Amino acid sequence: MANKRDLKKDINYVLGDIIEAVYVWEMTNTQKPTKETEAIIDDAISTFDELIARVNDRSVEDAKAHFKSINSDLESKGRALIERINKLK
């Protein structure tokens, strides 16, 4: 883990790219939002808020382990959102 700033950038880029992928899917398939795509975007935004709040938490004992768990959560939640995008019809 390089530092807190890099972790925040990673969170922003990953979830921003996921939201952008949803918008691209909407434009190429339906030309409008669907309930499923809106749910994916809402989940990405709530994941962003949750992870940033955890990054900004200063009351942790072991910062290295804390940031490592945030990074792994970002990876697992990001993959889950991508899988949901891939399942869209």
d(C-alpha 69, C-alpha 4), whole Å: 13
Predicted TM-score (pTM) of the model is 0.90
Which residues lie closer than 8 Å to 11 by C-beta, 6 or more apart?
48, 51, 52, 55, 74
Tell me if 67 sits within 8 A of 51, measured CB to CB.
Answer: no
How high is the pLDDT of residue 2?
59
How high is the pLDDT of residue 21?
96
Domain count, the chain: 1
d(C-alpha 76, C-alpha 57), whole Å: 21
Q: Per residue of the chain (89 residues), what is the pLDDT tens digit?
A: 558 999 999 999 999 999 999 999 999 998 888 899 999 999 999 999 999 999 999 898 998 999 999 999 999 999 999 999 999 87
Instruction: Provide the residue range defining the domain that includes 38.
Output: 4-86
